Structure 1
Amino acid sequence: MKKTKYIFFGILCTLFVTSELYSQTDKEQISAIRNESNTALKSYQNEKVLSFLTDDVLITTGNGTLLCGKEELEKYISDGGKSKMYWIRQTKEIKVNEKRGLAWENGIWNGYDPEKSDDSIINGNYSAMWTKESGVWKIKSQLFVTLSEN
């Protein structure tokens, strides 16, 4: 009986330690979501892109247009027509406030039009506010500023 208790205790400790080793930090979770978002943007999976945002998301586009909420963003995307433009965000920094479930991300973004070039044709900087309000990291707000056009 004692041997069984020790084996059970050993298994329990092993599970606890390995779960801690393999669990992602908040920064790693945000980075992984950003990578998923980039993949979805490049493959024009708009519904998946929208799934990474809160319903009341605020987006300021690179030209200064303010979009309030997923519905308005979805309309903005559909009004864009058959454009093959896509955007890739490259994270430079992520800071997390674990107590409040908030995070700040900044980096650079590049816009591509595969019908014109393999190279970026427009780019700039961005900042994003993330929230873990629902238990999963989602983007609450994003600000994009266009700084260069080719």
Structure 2
Amino acid sequence: MKNTLLLLLGLFILSFSYGQDSEIAQILSQRDASNKALRNFDHELNATFSTDDLFITTGAGTLISGKEAQAAYINSLQGPKIYWVRTPDEVLVNPKTLLAWETGTWKGYYENSEEPVVGGKYSAQWTKASGTWLIRSQLFVTLEN
């Protein structure tokens, strides 16, 4: 009886861990695709990785609420074109709430450049309420110039 309980507990932990790894892999794949879209200045494609009610705090503290506001913000940017790359350091998933936390570093690059001109730390909240992991909110803090 004791061995059976230990076996069942081990299988539960293994399946939980595998489930977590699978969810994290999905989020990392979405993040990679979002980074590629930004690198190619495909803001329409990048918007597909977010919920409609997306909320962003930019590195300079500007608040953006919703995809339409995000598009307007991007279109209002003056000067040389910049793309951003987010590099996750940690992703944690809550399978019960279908929410995830991502944190890492971000860097901004001028078009056709490999040298960052700005960067810092970021955090993101992901939701899988729609069946696909999407970004619900992001907070960026500029720490490097």
Under TM normalisation by the shorter chain, which class is it? Answer: 0.7 to 0.9
List gaps (5 residues or longer) in structure 2: 1-17
Query: Superposition pairs for residues 57-76 of structure 1, below 5 Å?
Result: 57-76=54-73
Task: Supply the distance in 1 between the matched residues of 2:79 and 2:121 (Cα, whole angstroms).
Answer: 25
- Aligned mate of 1:46, from 25, 39, 43: 43
Distance 1:82 1:51, change over 3 A: farther
**So what's the TM-score if we normalise by structure 1?**
0.80
Task: Using the TM superposition, give the Cα deviation of residue 84 of structure 1 relative to its aligned residue in structure 2, in angstroms.
Answer: 1.6
Q: What SS is found at the alignment partner of 1:73?
A: helix
Unpaired segments ≥5 residues, structure 1: 1-20
* Aligned equivalents of 1:46, 1:118: Cα separation in 2: 20
Match of 1:30 among 24, 27, 31: 27
The structure with the larger Rg is: 1
Match of 2:97 among 97, 100, 103: 100
Identify the residue that residue 140 of structure 1 maps to in structure 2. Answer: 136
CA RMSD of aligned residues (A): 1.5
2:54 counterpart SS class: strand
- Structure 2 distance, partners of 1:119, 1:82, is 17
- In the alignment, the residues of structure 2 paired with residue 134 and residue 114 of structure 1 have an alpha-carbon distance, to the nearest angstrom, of 33
Instruction: Measure, in 2, the Cα distance between the counterparts of 1:45 and 1:83.
Output: 16
Instruction: Return the alpha-carbon distance in structure 2 between the equivalents of residues 64 and 82 of structure 1.
Output: 19
Alpha-carbon deviation of 1:82? 6.4
Q: State the match for 2:109 in structure 1.
A: 112
Which TM-score applies when normalising by structure 2? 0.83
Runs of 4+ off more than 3 Å: none
Superimposed CA distance per residue, residues 95-118 of structure 1 (whole angstroms, 9 cap, x where no aligned partner): 000011000000000000136x53
Percentage of matched positions with identical amino acids: 47
